[in-house]
Chain A
């Protein structure tokens, strides 16, 4: 992969921040957008902005073709067997909430269990907290190993015939742990449970095959994979989705509306109430083309190299604590001595380096790590080893700056 050529595709990267060239190390929060995606949004709004699935006019047809074309791109991207299994949502959060509110509400009752992990993002915790409260079911947590990984033996012990849903993140946004979701799905299925995979941190960074994973539901966001904000995907197996009730009602999702009763459109539209996120979906389609042209395997390899280089160099800094396992996705979460992550991020920002500081929407995991906050550097296809060198230099500066305090 030619990183320089890749960087040329991202206009935002070529700017100075606080007098230094921008070093953007916060792609796990949101990725930057290539020119092709920006141009596609422009093309849509200038050329054929129109509502979809109604009207006979030319622009409406073009918009519908592009919108449904994007759905086909997503289908191929995750290897779903049909576009009926690809639902456009606002993002991962909405996708998981849809499963909890629809599948969860219909299939959970007292005595049933939902199994998740303490490393989940809030978006894969709270929807389950809410739905178990409503249905009388119980929320159970898998234990974590000290390096932040899950043992399959623990999954076998925790998942039982009472388990109805297992919901686990594919890749941790804090620890970088790559969870064995395929093996976990198999255990879930052995007990008659369904498996939801939170793919927010995996879909942007590795080849996903939902059929191979045998995930019943797989959720991800467009904005973390070079696409626009406000668009995401819920994949679900057709047999399950067909039995599920919609959670949003209104225009677009209906078949026949009577005064006191209505029927729904067929999949996937019954889950897409209201005017859909047309520009977002079209932009996501362009992002998928962009990533696929480069190759997800190449991207993964590049990020793994960056992560291992970052670990090696960051570990040389005095007072460095890195969280998570050795083998990891492209991100490093850390603390530097007693310097609070906010203070650290402010000093790095003064050097043009953007990192995340805080709890990363994973408060239970922060408590498990026994910290109130951490800093995180996350990498994507456009990051370089030179940028990691700048980060390490910035960390040394931070230590110097706060050196006399601690």
Chain B
């Protein structure tokens, strides 16, 4: 494998999110908090969501991890902020398909920067890094629904 292949994984936009993460930190008040880790590698993420009236009003994350897991968290918070919960879940589905190397039909949904992570699908060992934040979001929304 050459650097070209690595470049499909480490796209510039990914490294930008890694270096300058968006929405890193915590939400004041009483947000929904989800802690999730990847026990096989030690990556940890804390995701905070503020959901009001079915809309993700705010999303922030913190944690430790590799460039893929942290940039994915950064991109995700950026993408779901201000979106209806249902749309966030739809994005998560699309993202899962993207990771499995499937062709996706975005429809009305704008994945934005997230598509840069498409290359991860060619590195099976790293897919779990990319999906960690999304799993945390799904878990958080699930708990929110039960409340």
Closest B residue to A19 by CB, please name it. B1
Q: With contacts defined as CB atoms under 8 Å apart, how many contacts are there between chain A and chain B in the complex? A: 58
From A19, A343, A358, A401, B42 is in contact (CB under 8 Å) with A358
Contact assessment for B65 and A401 in the assembled complex, using a CB-CB cutoff below 8 Å = no
Please tell me if the beta carbons of B1 and A18 are within 8 angstroms of each other in the complex: yes
Please, which residues of chain A bring their CB within 8 A of the CB of B81?
A: none
- B129 lies within 8 A of chain A by Cβ: yes
Question: What mask results when residues 98 to 127 of chain B are scored 1 for a CB within 8 Å of chain A, else 0?
Answer: 000000000000000000000000010110
Q: Are B19 and A343 in contact (CB under 8 A)?
A: no
Q: Tell whether A131 is near chain B: CB-to-CB under 8 Å.
A: no
Q: Which residue of the partner chain A has the closest CB to B40?
A: A358
Q: How large is the interface on B (under 10, 10 to 19, 20 to 34, 35 or more residues)?
A: 20 to 34
Nearest neighbor of B41 in chain A, beta-carbon distance: A358
Q: When the two chains form their complex, are residues A346 and B125 in contact, meaning their CB atoms are under 8 A apart?
A: yes
Residue of A nearest to B69 (CB): A342
Most A C-beta atoms less than 10 A away, residue of B3, B6, B123, B126:
B6
Question: What residue of chain B has the Cβ atom nearest to residue A366's Cβ?
Answer: B42
Say yes or no: A405-B6 contact (C-beta < 8 A), given A346-B125, A357-B41.
no
* B68 in the interface (beta carbon within 8 A): yes
Determine whether A175 belongs to the interface, using a CB cutoff of 8 Å to chain B.
Answer: no
Measured CB to CB, the residues of A under 8 A from B are: 18-19, 340-343, 346-347, 349-351, 357-359, 363, 366, 372-373, 401, 405-406
Chain B residues near A351: list those with CB within 8 A: 1
In the bound complex, residues from chain B placing their C-beta under 8 Å from that of A19 are 1-2
| B67 sits at the interface (CB 8 A) | yes
Q: Mark B55-97, 1 if CB is under 8 A from A, else 0.
A: 0000000001111100000000000000000000000000000
* C-alpha gap A340/B43 in the complex (Å): 10
* Alpha-carbon gap, A366 to B125, bound state (A): 21
Output the least CB separation between B115 and chain A (Å). Answer: 20
